[in-house]
Amino acid sequence: ETGVTQSPTHLIKTRGQQVTLRCSSQSGHNTVSWYQQALGQGPQFIFQYYREEENGRGNFPPRFSGLQFPNYSSELNVNALELDDSALYLCASSLDKGGTDTQYFGPGTRLTVL
Amino acid sequence: DAKTTQPNSMESNEEEPVHLPCNHSTISGTDYIHWYRQLPSQGPEYVIHGLTSNVNNRMASLAIAEDRKSSTLILHRATLRDAAVYYCILRDWDNTGKLIFGQGTTLQVKP
């Protein structure tokens, strides 16, 4: 069974640019959640995708957007990058949306905005 | 969302038991108590969860106070690999099942 994978591992962008991060969910999981983790902080929920539809969003501006594909892999897009967007971006997959299902995290993508 | 309070950091010696406390005085009757941990340079991983009764699995034990206002994660024999940030999270049924992380407890294990 393949776990959750994310690409790229590291990324450096400049302010104002756009970035796309990718996540492959664990086999059999139809739900992907994205989190942002600033240095020294716990992860914060960005949004969740369930069966290709957004299923809930945290307190993040619209320039954070996402997609989920028929194979349940997912992308996180961030437009007009700001310095404060520098963080570790984590995706987590789960068997289903809602409830208290275990979430399985990938290793994250470290984004640095200069 | 109900909040949890954890010590910022704790130290342990290798091969000794570790008790990681968590206070959640505003817990509701339907909140589950979940623990995740984050090893250095990795994403968080599930450790254990419970509702009312104490729980054991291969990784750890969870002791829940009778009034449910606090709980303790017990690592029976700490290893160097257990050095991580441990998060205590309350989860009620939610349309997204999102995890709300606090600051967690950074556990240092000394050889």
pLDDT, residue A85, reads 98
Q: Establish how many alpha carbons lie within 13 A of residue A60's alpha carbon, considering only the half-sphere containing its beta carbon.
A: 24
pLDDT, residue B1, reads 58
Cα–Cα distance for residue pair B111/B98, rounded to 1 Å: 36
pLDDT, residue A1, reads 59
pLDDT, residue B64, reads 97
Looking at CA atoms only, how far is residue B87 from chain A in angstroms? Answer: 8
Mapped onto helix, strand or coil, the DSSP state of residue B24 is coil
pLDDT at residue A8 greater than cutoff 90: yes
pLDDT, residue B54, reads 94
Indicate the residue of B41, B44, B98 with minimum beta-carbon distance to A105. Answer: B44
pLDDT, residue B2, reads 60
Length of chain A in terms of residues written: 114
Looking at CA atoms only, how far is residue B51 from chain A in angstroms? Answer: 11
pLDDT, residue A82, reads 98
Cα–Cα distance for residue pair B80/B95, rounded to 1 Å: 37
Contact partners, residue A68, CB within 8 Å, separation at least 6: A32, A49, A50, A51, A52, A53, A74
Looking at CA atoms only, how far is residue B47 from chain A in angstroms? Answer: 10
Q: What is the mean pLDDT of chain B?
A: 94
**A103 contact residues in B (CB cutoff 8 A):** 44, 46, 97, 99
First to last CA, chain B: 38
Cα–Cα distance for residue pair A7/B68, rounded to 1 Å: 40
pLDDT, residue B92, reads 83
Put the strands of the sheet holding B18-23 in their side by side order.
B18-23, B70-75, B61-64, B55-56
The average pLDDT across B15-44 equals 95
Please identify among residues 74-103 of chain B the ones whose CB lies closer than 8 Å to any CB of chain A.
85, 87, 91-103
Task: Give phi and psi for B69, each to the nearest 5.
Answer: -85, -5
B60-94 pLDDT, tens per residue?
A: 999 999 999 999 999 999 999 999 999 999 988 87
Q: How confident is the model at residue A10 (pLDDT cuts 50, 70, 90)?
A: very high
pLDDT, residue A76, reads 98
Asked whether the beta carbons of residue A42 and residue B101 sit closer than 8 angstroms, the reply is yes
- Contact between B40 and B83 under an 8 Å Cβ cutoff? The reply is yes
Task: Give phi and psi for B62, each to the nearest 5.
Answer: -120, 120
